[in-house]
């Protein structure tokens, strides 16, 4: 395990707070945390495992907050969560046997299109809209697809999920954002278990980052509940565009 100085340890904890806050709104906190872990000199596999493990606590915090305040209904998500679980297993297996270069090339273009969709679509609002895809079809197509993507790669998964719930199920942005949390949680938890089994987690760092994630996620989810699309829409547009630019410059 790498030795981390106190300033680096404290800095990573602060980044985890910001990551939890951003993830609860736009679902892209990992794109902030993971590069910082690598910059601190943590080996890639340890960085991935540590990032997945600490992020689970932030996602769980925001999911509980949305549920307790009546913005998250788990019953219609059961099928989606099951498919996300199996998709995550498939994605984690796939990433070990496939070159990610193709996806890394396509992803920036996909994210730019997604940010434009959020910027201009009338379905991204505080109002519910008629669904374009039934729950029975949504579960395997979107749930399985998100789980596969999350297990295989992951950047922007929360934004993809929010777009799917808003565009295909007609959810308003509070409900769409809340509904992404269990899907992301199941996917990341599945990956986390595999990383833990392989011994690829720095537990002392996870303990501090997890607390920061919980606080950041609680604050961010409260802002979503109170401000809705007025907050979520611009944050997702900016975050998805920023991720696209970062991936293109990598």
The answer for residues whose C-beta is within 8 angstroms of residue 76's C-beta and 6 or more apart is 135
Distance separating alpha carbons of residues 98 and 39, to the nearest angstrom: 25
**Taking the C-alpha atoms of 7, 207, 214 and 33 in order, what is their torsion angle to the nearest 10 degrees?**
50
C-alpha triplet 120, 121, 127: angle, nearest 5°: 130
Model pLDDT for residues 170-227, shown as the tens digit of each residue = 888 788 888 888 999 999 899 889 889 888 899 999 999 999 999 988 988 887 777 7
- Judged by DSSP in three states, 158 sits in helix
Annotate 172-223 with DSSP letters as a single string: -HHHHHHHHHHHHHHHHHHHHHHHHHTT---HHHHHHHHHHHHHHHHHHHHH
Residue scoring higher pLDDT (185 or 129): 185
Contact 115, 236 (CB under 8 A): yes
Residue scoring higher pLDDT (26 or 150): 150
Model pLDDT for residues 50-97, shown as the tens digit of each residue = 888 998 998 898 889 889 888 888 998 999 999 999 998 988 777 666
- Asked if residue 219 belongs to a domain, the reply is yes
Q: Give yes or no for residue 125 having a pLDDT over 70.
A: no
Q: Give yes or no for residue 230 having a pLDDT over 90.
A: no
- Asked if residue 1 belongs to a domain, the reply is no
Q: What is the span of the domain harbouring residue 216?
A: 6-249
- Asked if residue 88 belongs to a domain, the reply is yes
Lookup result for tokens 């990610």: 100
- Asked if residue 196 belongs to a domain, the reply is yes
Residue 200: both structure tokens together: 């690829």
Residue scoring higher pLDDT (150 or 247): 150
- Asked if residue 87 belongs to a domain, the reply is yes
- Asked if residue 169 belongs to a domain, the reply is yes
- Share the mean pLDDT of the chain: 80
- Asked if residue 173 belongs to a domain, the reply is yes
Question: What's the total number of domains in the chain?
Answer: 1
- Asked if residue 84 belongs to a domain, the reply is yes
């Amino acid at each position: 395990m790498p030795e981390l100085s106190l300033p680096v340890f404290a800095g990573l904890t602060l980044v985890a707070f910001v990551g939890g806050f951003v993830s609860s709104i736009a679902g892209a906190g990992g794109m902030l945390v993971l590069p910082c872990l690598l910059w601190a000199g943590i080996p890639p596999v340890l960085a991935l495992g540590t990032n997945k493990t600490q992020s689970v606590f932030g996602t769980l915090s925001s999911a509980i907050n949305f549920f307790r305040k009546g913005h998250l209904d788990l019953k219609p998500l059961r099928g989606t969560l099951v498919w996300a679980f199996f998709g995550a297993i498939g994605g984690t297996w796939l990433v070990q046997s496939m070159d990610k270069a193709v996806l890394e090339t396509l992803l920036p273009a996909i994210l730019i299109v997604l940010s434009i969709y959020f910027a201009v679509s009338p379905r991204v609002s505080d109002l519910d809209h008629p669904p374009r895809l039934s729950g029975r079809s949504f579960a395997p197509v979107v749930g399985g697809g998100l789980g596969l993507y999350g297990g295989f790669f992951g950047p922007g998964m929360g934004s993809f999920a929010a777009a799917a719930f808003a565009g295909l199920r007609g959810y308003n942005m509070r409900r769409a954002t809340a509904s992404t949390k269990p899907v992301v949680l199941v996917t990341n938890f599945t990956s986390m278990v595999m990383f833990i089994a392989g011994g690829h987690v720095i537990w002392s760092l996870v303990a501090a980052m997890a607390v920061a994630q919980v606080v950041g996620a609680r604050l961010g989810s409260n802002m979503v509940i109170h401000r809705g699309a007025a907050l979520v829409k611009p944050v997702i547009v900016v975050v998805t565009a920023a991720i696209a630019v970062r991936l293109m410059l990598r």
